[in-house]
Every structure is written in C-alpha cells, then in structure tokens.
Amino acid sequence: MFEFGIPVLSAFVSLALAAIPLLLAGANPIAAYGQMIKGVFGSVFAISEMLTRATPLIFTGLAAALAFRAKLWNIGAEGQLYLGAMAAVAVGVGAFDVAGFILIPLIIVFGAAAGAAGMAAPTFLKARFGADEVVTTLLLNFIILIFVQMMLEGPLQDPMGLGWPQSAPVLDQGMLPRLMDRMRVHSGLIIALIAALVAQFMLARSVWGFQLRAVGENAVAARHAGIKVKRSLYSVAIISGGLAGLAGVSEVAGLKGYLTADLSPGFGYTGIVVAMLAGLSPIGVVVAAIFIASVFVGADSMSRAMGVSSFLADLVVSMSLLCVLIGGFIAKYRIIRADKGNTTS
Amino acid sequence: MDILNILLSESFWAASLRIATPLIFGVLGALLCERAGVLNLGIEGIFVVGAMCGWLAVWLGAGLWGGVLVAALAGAFFGLLHAILTVPLGLSQHVSGLGITLFATSVSYFSYRTALPNVSSPPRIEPFQPLDFPVLADLPFFGTVLFQQTALTWLALFMVVAVWYVMNRTALGIAIQAVGDNPDSVEAQGLSVFALRIGAVTAGSSLMALGGAFLTMSAFDAFFFGMVNGRGWVCIALVIFASWRPGKALLGALLFGAFDALQVRLQTQMGAAVPGQVFLMAPYILSIVALVIAARSADYPRALLTPWFKGQR
Amino acid sequence: MSNIVLSLNGLSKKFGSVVANADVSLTLERGEVLALLGENGAGKTTLMNMLFGHYLPDSGTIDVADANGQLCPLQLGHPLAALSAGIGMVHQHFTLAENINALDNITLGAEPLLAVRRSTRLARSKIDRIIEKSGLKAPLSTPVGRLSVGERQRVEILKALYRDANILVLDEPTAVLTPQEADTLFENIKAMTKDGISVIFISHKLHEVLAFSDRIAVLRHGVKVGEMATSQADEKAIARMMVGAESPKVERTKIATGDPVLQLKNISVAGRSKRDSLEFVSLEVHAHEILGIAGISGNGQGALAQVVSGLMTLSEGTIQVGGKEITKPAPQAMISAGVGRIPEDRHREGIIGAMTVAENMVIERLEDSDIQSRGLLRPDAIEAYARILEHSYDVRGPGVTAAARLLSGGNIQKLILARVFERAPKVILASQPTRGLDMGAAAEVGRRLLEARERGAGVLLISEDLDEILGLADRIMIIRDGQLVETKSHDREAIGLMMAGEAA
C-alpha cells in the first residue's frame, strides 16, 4: 500500500524551501512562484512543453522504481538511455528504409534491447563476481557517454553535418507522431503512460511481480520459498534497462530527431528522484514525473523572466528527494509505534 | 618502445601523482566512512562542493589555505547531513548518498551562478604553486616526481599516514573499526555508536571535499561545471580495491593516476590511429575491472549498509 | 560487613500484556555461584537484562555492594551505571568486533578515545594477570574472527573482568560450547569465585546446574518458584518445579511405520565452518514416523536443515524423496517433491514481513492453477484460501490482508504451519519448531506434527530441546561434529551423554 501524503508534502516543502535560495539570489519568492506556475500552466504550449519534459522522466522513473523494488540498485539509467538512443539512430537513420509501421517498432525494440543489455551486464557482474552494481552502473554512465561521443565523431556522424558531433536525422517515417499541431508533445508520452499502467498491473497482479516484491523485501525467505532469485533479478534488470533505453528512443525519435552527446540533461539521475518521490509505485511515477517536469519547465521560464539561475530546479528536485526520505522515516516511525501496539497479544 | 620511454620519464610519474592526488583524498574519505559502516555516495557531490567552495573563498579573497579550510568545512557540512540521515534516522545509505550528491551539486552550481551571474569564461585565481625544496628538487627522478608538487599533494600524502596512524594506532581508530564490524561491541563497552559513526562520516566527507578543492586550487585555477566528472565514483570503486586500507588506497590511486597519465600520453602519440575516446574510457573501465577482481575476496566491513538502533540485538 | 553483594528486590516487568517477571527477589553472596534455572521463556534473560540496565523494571529495586561492602541502590535502566557498579554480563550472542584482536576488544571504551598515543603495555599486563588467576586463556593478538567459540566467550568474560566486574552474569554460557569447553569454563568460574567474584549463570540444563553451582533459583512463568542450596537439591523436585506440577504429556498412538519417504545417503557438505558442515550423513525417515535429531547447538543441525530444504549444494551423497532421487537439490525441487519445511529462523527465512499474510500463505504455491492462471495471480482465490487457513490454523492478527510482520511470533509460526501442512506434504522438516514460542503455541506445533505422522507423513524433527524430542520422536539420532549416530535408548541421561560425545 502506498501513501500519497508524504511525497506530496515533500514536494511542497521542497518548493517552499526554494524561497531561501530565491531570496539569496535577490528575487521575490512570491513573484518567482507565480512566474513558475505561469510558465508551466499558462498556455497549452507550456503544458505541452511540460509533458514533453515529463516523458523521458516517466521512463527513467519506472526504470529506477522497478529495479529498486527488487533492491537492484540501477543507477545507470543515464547510460542506458544513451544506449537506447544510439540503437534508435543506428536503426532509424536509413539502415532500414521501410514503412513507418515497421520502422517505428523496429526502433523501439532495438532501443529497448540496447538499454536492457546495458543493465544486464552489471547484473551479471554482480551475480557472477559480486561486483557492486551501484558502482558499476555509475561508472558505465561515463563510459557510455564517452562511447557516444566516439560514435558521433565516427560511424554515427552525420555526413552532411559539417563535422559537428551529431548523428544523421531519423527518417521521417521513423519519427513518433506528434500529439498536437505545432506542439512538441509526442506519442512517446502515450508509450510511457502505457508502460506505467502495465508495470503497475504486473507488479500487483502477476506472479512475476509477486516474486519481484518477495526478492526485494526478503531475498533469503524468497529463496527458501522456492523463488529463483537470480532469474528474478535478471528479468527486472532487463526490463529496467529496457525502460531506460526507451527514454532515449523517445527523446531521439519523438523529440530531437537526431542524437547529440547532450541529449539528456541528467534524465537518468532525475529518474531516481522521480521513483523515490513515487514511493516506487509505477502510477506514482507518472505523477512525480509531472511534478518534476513542472519544476524544470517552470524554473526555466522563471529564470528567463527574473534572471535567477535555472539550477534552482535541480536544487528543488534534490531537496524533494531528501524531504521524501525524511518523510519516509517519520512514517516508518509511526508504523513501528503502531506495530508495538498491535503485536503484543 | 614508446611506452617504456613514457614509463621511465620523470614527468610521467610527476603527472601520475598529480592526477592521483584528488583520488587519494577521496579514497581516504570513503575509507573512513565505510570503515565506520556507512557508504557515502554523496562523494561525487561533496567533490563538487569542495571544488566550488574552495575556489570561491579564494576568489573572494580568503587566501589559499583559507579556501582549503572552507572546502573542508563545506564537505563536513554535507557529510554531517548524510550522517544524520543514515545513522540516527537509519535511512537507506544508497538513496541518501545519491540525494546528497544531487543536493550538493545543485547547491554548488546555483551558488556559482548566483555569485557570478554574467561571466562567460570562468574567473581565475592564483592557485597553489609547486613547493620549492632547495636541494631535494634537484635530485634525479625524485626531484621532479616528489619535490615539485604543490602543498595539497603533500597534504594528501601526509593524510595517508595520518589516517593509517589513527585507524591502527589509536583507540579512536580501533573503535571506528569496531563500529563498522559489530556496533554492539562498541555499545556494550559504553561508547556511542552514533557519535563514532557521525564523526567518521563527517571527517571522511571533509577529506573528500579536499579532493575537490585540489581540482580548482591546484590542478586548475577555476571552477567549471562537470569538472569532477565521476572522480568520486572512481573512489568508491578504489576503496574496495584497496580493501579499506590506507596504504593500498594510496597504491590504488597512484595506479589509477599512472593509467590516466599514460592514456593522455598515448593519445598524443597514437592520436591518428585510435579515437581519443578509447583512452578517455580506459580509466573507468579499469575501475570496473579492479572492482570485479577485488569484489569476491573483498573483506567488506560487516556492518556496512546496516543501520543500528539501540536495544535491537 | 555483610557478605551479600547483590540484592534484587521485587522486580517486575511486563511487555504489553505478557508478564515476563513478577515480583522476583534474589540475593547473591560474595564468591558464590548462583544458577538461575528455568525453561525457555521463563523470564531468566529478562531478569538479567533489568540487572544490566538494558530494560527498565516496572517496579522493584536493585542494590549492589560498594567497595566497603555497603549495599547501595543501583540506578535502573542505565548500562553504564551497572558497568561502573561492577556488574559484567556475557550475552548469548557475543558482542565482539571480529576485525580487531582480543586485546582491543577488551580495552575498547576503557581508554581515552582522543589520546594521540596509546599504551597497550599496561593493559596487556593487567589482562595477563587476570588470565593467570582465572585461567581464561585466549590469544590476545589474533583478530577475534579467527578465534574458536570457546575462546570468544573467554574474551567476553575477560572484557567484564578487565572492567573490574565482581558480579558476573553468564547467559546460557554452555549453549554454544563443546562439553570440553564447558568443563574448562566451569573450572575458570571456580577459579574466579576463589578470587571473590560472584557469578550468576543462566541455564536450562539440570545436570550442569547440579554439578557446578552453590545455590539454585528456579524461575517459571516469570515467577521465582523455588530456591535451595545445591548440596540439598533433589533432581526430580527441581525438574518438577521447572516444568510445573504436571509436565505436558503428549497424546500419541502407536502406529506401524511405512515405507521410507526421505532417504539421505552418505551426504557431505562443506559449510563455511565446521559448525555448518556434514560428514557422510545417512538417515531414513519413514511414513508414520517422527525422527528426532538431538544435539548441542552448532554441531551441524543448520547444515542438515539446509540440505533437506534444498538450500545447500552437496559435495557428496544423494537425497531421495518418496523413493525418487532429487538430482538437483533446490528449494523448488524439494517443495514439488513433497517436502514441507518449517525453517529455524522464522522471521528471516520463514516469512516476508512486508508482504501480506495471504501472500505469505501462498508463496510456495505460485505454480498452482488455483493461485494463478497464465502468470497472473487470482487475488480473490488467494484471499479466500488464506481465510480458510487463517481459520483452521487459528492465525490471529489484523487479518490476512495485513502485513505478516504485524503478527506475533507464535502466530507467524502458525502461518508457516498452515502453509506447510495444508499441502499435506510427504515429508516434513521441522527445524527448532518451538524455539521462542510460549507453551500454548509450542503444544500446537507438537500436536500438528503428531497429526501429520498419523496421516502418513514422515517428520524430521531437529531440536536442541531434548524434552521435545523425547516427547515427540519415534526414533532418535544424535548429531555431533557433523555426524549422525542412532540411539535405541529413550533415556535422557544416556542421550545427554551421547550428545556430549561420551559413549553411553
């Protein structure tokens, strides 16, 4: 069971705390908040921008939420996102010049597979050699990013790109359709929402989800009860990596159209915050991603209007993570006290 | 053979030690935290804070050692925050650490932008200069490698000895080792588990911040976004490789530094044949390889990651 | 000057509605060995935890003699106060850091933390003196992780003596020791008492209490039910005091045993230490039979249970269930072959506390078609099934949709019983099934095991509680140093001797 109270409270507390840096930067917090709200909800365009920002965050948030449920610490969504994006351009820029209804699924499948491989490898190192996946996935993020730069100056470089380190554009029929005219919000959002719903359903209702939760909560008892722990971990690793790969696919084939090495402003890391704010619940991830995306888009708009650094958004996001952690502690403390009342028979 | 020439050159080893310096601080800091039983993934952000605060203090006129002190205090502050979240509150060390990294990084970036809203190229400070050892600097080989380094490198080397001495030769260090193995052993003898852990994490974090400060105050003379570039995470891998021993931590950091220095030199020599990124990737790959080799036999502090509460035996 | 060094006056302690101690008074004299005797759950450990300041009593006071022999009230609920009043406690679970050596463990906290230099010379000579007087020999410079259990226990006692304890409390000190180590321990205790140290040792083993104490106090249900000088003690009378007027006699019928349902042949496993290894173990459990495995803790019981649970890889030997060999032992393979397992550590291995009672009830049945179809769970069916089990196994708590960790220990065990017995397994492994349970819950476990025997199951009962084995088992084997020996005898004395490794 998931309580919404704490995350919502944490979100507001972190926004309120942002008044301190705003004051230090010499801005009027009330005006700044007003500007942020206007920047996110002031027009259809603003809302479209916010949803566009939320799309990759839903994917990376789901990637973190599912893995963390199994206590598999996938901190590598950032790298897996780039793997997915690379696969998308590798397939999408002309290798297969086929109709859209074939090319789009092809891009999606290859992108997800690349991301999945990016998480399967550290999981193998953990299962086989006991190498801590936190460290390996973190380091892989850097390796993959450098690899992307290499590819963009090599095989994936756009021959027509005047030497810029960027890929050729994805074929028009390979692009995910836009949802509205003249708006950037694209059907990657629909895929993300479906993924969240499916994840929610599978986690609660499938044998796979049952086993995943069991492994995450108590791996010793799960193994004793006949659950194949390693298989469970590999399966969640592949799905988690695949979702992160889809974030890359959706950014490349939904939004930008081509790959550069600055495709992601840290969506992978922010996904961890999204997942924690969501209490690791897939549906919660959608809500949390929309909140975080609002903070980013709102802060951008506020920054342009008032001259306060847009790093304020990162500040709010990181504070909301710390707040939700502390809030979780308070809730746990309440449960422990309630337990004491209950178990004395 | 080119590689042999490189490996025998004085400038190569001088560069290795220079590159290793921030890692020495970082690994020692991580070692202190983990020996007490607390994983500190805040390290990457604490590096950033150290780099930014140290530099900013100097730029505002605090003097170089003033900057070092400010960096250490800033690191201690974020370390204390992590310690409070993970020790008395017993929250997930993984998540709290990542939260500290995000928080410390965004605080640094925001402060930098707020302090310097309209600069296009980062302002420079006068960084630490190589120490001038009159006779020693003229020694063959060691003269260049050791005696033309800056004071912060010497501080790092001194810290290796200091941390080793404290951990192995003082009652405090032994208590820190004990609290990372079995907190009950410390509690039963009337010492405070919380105080030991919070103290170790705070002290370790200020060492990490010095690693960041080295970047802006010795290796370079300005602060850039993204300049820490995963050095903190490398330290987390190296501390496992070093099996939580200061001497091996120095060795690990030096190996890493040597490897990094080597890749830079090979890159300039073989630049045309192989893409430069292959060399840039190599140190991170090396860290993973080191981790994989060390992981099975690693003697993790037994209480690492496990929160402790009074009265729960 | 009175000879009394410690006096507990009317101590009471309740946990919720459970009375752990009621109005217990005790005195201890200088140089005396007082045995605190009682069954599991009689309140011995709670009493000593109040003495040592780990628990705050609900009522009552404690007086301790000061340096002049004057009794002074002890500040309650403060371990440091107890420590400085000269009370040392050796817990069943050692509180030692394994990565530092014995000397450092002993001096930890006794020297200034912030001193730049540390002098171990004085400390070492003080410890050497204590060792010489008491005979508590232990290597001081080896990391504690490499010491034997007996050595670790001696380090624990040294820790207390180093802090100048003159009252020493030993909680079940022989539970983890080999008989030889236990003998050495009692010799050491004797040497210490000559030096004026008073010892309270907690035990539920009658024979060692009779052999090594000066005075005996018996606790039952948290109340002191008797106290006497050991020299005048009558074994049978004490046993009756411990278990109450009528010892709970289990009803059991005579049944002819059937075919073997579980066969282990020449099984060897190499665990991390000798304590969890097995050497060429063979056994057979038949239908309609309970085979009891008796033994002192740490002689390979854990390894045997893990083998039958499918959790350990065999280095040698074969397992057959119902005549069919299990070629790749794994938990799933054992479950589907018809083995029901009641794990030793029910909180860690038995349940997933964060998941619901219902989910914990079906966790071993995820393949069955009434629980899932095509990979999807059937929540209504699961809940209905759980409600039936909740009712028929009398699992009490906040309901089947609540988290399992909210249940009490006894009800967690009932949950596990329900999960295991409802599948009518051919073989039941019951590993320390009543440890830590109250009398009622323990009796329920026994009744269920006998019921399963009647139905035709074979039960492998591993227990350190000899009375439980004598009450339930049809045949008894003794486990010692990872090896099994069968005994025809049902005589507790003879079996006790075999457990201790002496020919009977």
Q: Report chain B residues whose CB lies below 8 A from the CB of A153.
A: 275, 277
> Does A314 contact chain B (CB < 8 Å)?
yes
Round to whole Å and give the CA distance between A255 and A48. 12
**Structure-token match 């400085």, residue found:** C84
Residue ranges of E strands in C287-371? 289-294, 316-321, 324-325, 339-342
* pLDDT score of A339 more than 60: no
Question: Measured between CB atoms, which of B94, B234, B281 is closest to A73?
Answer: B94
**Structure-token match 């450098």, residue found:** A146
Distance, in angstroms, between A180 CA and closest chain B CA?
34
Which chain A residues in 319-338 lie under 8 Å from chain B, judged by CB atoms? Answer: 319, 321-322, 325-326, 328-329
The letter for the amino acid at C457 is A
Which tokens go with A181?
């005219």
Q: Which of C263, C293, C268 lies closest to C280, judged by CA?
A: C268
Determine the average pLDDT of the residues in A306-323. Answer: 93
Instruction: Determine contact, residues A8/A274, Cβ cutoff 8 Å.
Output: no
Could you report the per-residue pLDDT of B154-193, keeping only the tens digit for each?
Answer: 999 999 999 999 999 999 999 999 999 999 999 888 889 9
pLDDT number for residue C502 = 54
Domain ranges (residues) in chain B? 9-118+149-295
Q: Which of C423, C268, C435, C427 lies closest to C346, judged by CA?
A: C435
Kindly determine whether residue C109 and residue B190, on different chains, have CB atoms separated by under 8 Å: yes
> Which class is B9-118+149-295 in CATH?
mainly alpha
Determine the average pLDDT of the residues in C321-340. Answer: 93
Kindly determine whether residue A141 and residue B230, on different chains, have CB atoms separated by under 8 Å: yes
Kindly determine whether residue C108 and residue B178, on different chains, have CB atoms separated by under 8 Å: yes
pLDDT number for residue C221 = 81
Q: Report chain C residues whose CB lies below 8 A from the CB of A228.
A: 332
> Does B189 contact chain C (CB < 8 Å)?
yes
Distance, C-alpha C152 to centroid of its chain: 18
Those residues whose C-beta lies under 8 Å from the C-beta of residue A304, and which sit 6 or more positions away, are none
Kindly determine whether residue B181 and residue C112, on different chains, have CB atoms separated by under 8 Å: no
Give the model's confidence band at C504: pLDDT under 50 very low, under 70 low, under 90 confident, else very high. very low
Which tokens go with C318?
């074969």
**DSSP code per residue over C412-462:** HHHHHHHHHHTT--SEEEEESTTTT--HHHHHHHHHHHHHHHHHT-EEEEE
> Does B184 contact chain C (CB < 8 Å)?
yes
DSSP summary character for residue B130: B
Q: Report chain B residues whose CB lies below 8 A from the CB of C110.
A: 189
Question: Measured between CB atoms, which of C18, C355, C377 is closest to A207?
Answer: C377
* pLDDT score of A32 more than 50: yes
Instruction: Determine contact, residues B20/B181, Cβ cutoff 8 Å.
Output: no
Round to whole Å and give the CA distance between B257 and B17. 6
CA dihedral C433, C437, C442, C445 (to 10 degrees): -40
Which range, B11-20, B66-75, B117-126, is most confident? B66-75
Residue A160 lies in a domain: yes
Round to whole Å and give the CA distance between A76 and A122. 9
Residue A343 lies in a domain: no
Which tokens go with A262?
């600055």
Give the model's confidence band at A3: pLDDT under 50 very low, under 70 low, under 90 confident, else very high. low
Number of domains comprising chain A: 1
Kindly determine whether residue A345 and residue C355, on different chains, have CB atoms separated by under 8 Å: no
Kindly determine whether residue B170 and residue C116, on different chains, have CB atoms separated by under 8 Å: yes
Residue of C346, C363, C364, C439 to mutate when probing chain A, most A C-beta within 10 A? C363
pLDDT number for residue A212 = 97
Given the DSSP bridges, would you call strands C260-269 and C198-203 parallel, antiparallel or unpaired? unpaired
Which chain A residues in 213-242 lie under 8 Å from chain B, judged by CB atoms? Answer: none
Task: Identify the structural domains of chain C with CATH numbers, from first to last.
Answer: 4-243 (3.40.50.300), 260-338+425-498 (3.40.50.300), 346-424 (no CATH)
Could you report the per-residue pLDDT of C370-393, keeping only the tens digit for each?
Answer: 999 999 999 999 999 999 999 999
> Does C36 contact chain B (CB < 8 Å)?
no
> Does B213 contact chain C (CB < 8 Å)?
no
> Does A208 contact chain C (CB < 8 Å)?
yes
What global pTM score does this model have?
0.90
Domain that holds residue A104: 5-336
Which chain B residues in 211-230 lie under 8 Å from chain A, judged by CB atoms? Answer: 229-230
Size of interface A-B (CB pairs under 8 A): 129
**DSSP code per residue over C214-267:** SEEEEEETTEEEEEEEGGG--HHHHHHHHH-SS--PPP-------SEEEEEEEE
Q: Report chain B residues whose CB lies below 8 A from the CB of C80.
A: 190
* pLDDT score of A341 more than 90: no
**Structure-token match 């030889």, residue found:** C180
> Does A293 contact chain B (CB < 8 Å)?
no
Distance, in angstroms, between A230 CA and closest chain C CA?
13
CA separation, residue A89 to residues A98, A172, A242, B57 (Å): 14, 12, 16, 45
> Does C122 contact chain A (CB < 8 Å)?
no
Tell me the longest C-alpha to C-alpha distance in chain C: 81
* pLDDT score of C1 more than 60: no
Those residues whose C-beta lies under 8 Å from the C-beta of residue A15, and which sit 6 or more positions away, are A33, A295, A316, A320
Determine the average pLDDT of the residues in C74-95. Answer: 87
* Chains in contact with A via at least 3 Cβ–Cβ pairs below 8 Å: B, C
Terminal Cα distance for chain B, rounded: 62
Distance, C-alpha A108 to centroid of its chain: 16
**CATH code of residue A175:** 1.10.3470
Which tokens go with C8?
């507990």
Q: Please, what sign has the CA dihedral across residues B106, B110, B113, B115?
A: negative
Question: Measured between CB atoms, which of A210, A226, A228 is closest to C377?
Answer: A210
Question: Measured between CB atoms, which of B99, B106, B284 is closest to A143?
Answer: B284
Across chain A, what does the average pLDDT equal? 92
Round to whole Å and give the CA distance between B296 and C185. 38
Residue A341 lies in a domain: no
Across chain B, what does the average pLDDT equal? 91
> Does A134 contact chain B (CB < 8 Å)?
yes
Those residues whose C-beta lies under 8 Å from the C-beta of residue B257, and which sit 6 or more positions away, are B15, B16, B17, B18, B19, B20, B21, B23
Percent of chain C with pLDDT over 90: 53
Question: Measured between CB atoms, which of C96, C100, C117 is closest to B174?
Answer: C100
Closest chain C residue to A227, measured at CA:
C332
Residue A344 lies in a domain: no
Round to whole Å and give the CA distance between C457 and C455. 6
Determine the average pLDDT of the residues in A233-261. Answer: 97
User: Of how many residues is chain B composed?
Assistant: 313
> Does C370 contact chain A (CB < 8 Å)?
no
Could you report the per-residue pLDDT of C121-155, keeping only the tens digit for each?
Answer: 889 999 999 999 888 989 999 999 999 888 999 99
User: Of how many residues is chain C composed?
Assistant: 504
Angle at A79 between CA A77 and CA A80, to 5 degrees: 60
pLDDT number for residue C503 = 45
Those residues whose C-beta lies under 8 Å from the C-beta of residue C369, and which sit 6 or more positions away, are none
pLDDT number for residue A272 = 96
Q: Which of B93, B69, B70 lies closest to B81, judged by CA?
A: B93
Q: What is the predicted ipTM? A: 0.92
Q: Report chain A residues whose CB lies below 8 A from the CB of B237.
A: 135, 139
Question: Measured between CB atoms, which of A210, A217, A340 is closest to C354?
Answer: A217
Q: Report chain B residues whose CB lies below 8 A from the CB of C54.
A: 311
* pLDDT score of C330 more than 90: yes
> Would you report the helix, strand and coil content of chain C in percent, each value rounded to 5?
35, 25, 40
Those residues whose C-beta lies under 8 Å from the C-beta of residue A225, and which sit 6 or more positions away, are A214, C331, C335, C363, C364
Could you report the per-residue pLDDT of A64-90, keeping only the tens digit for each?
Answer: 999 999 999 999 999 999 999 999 999
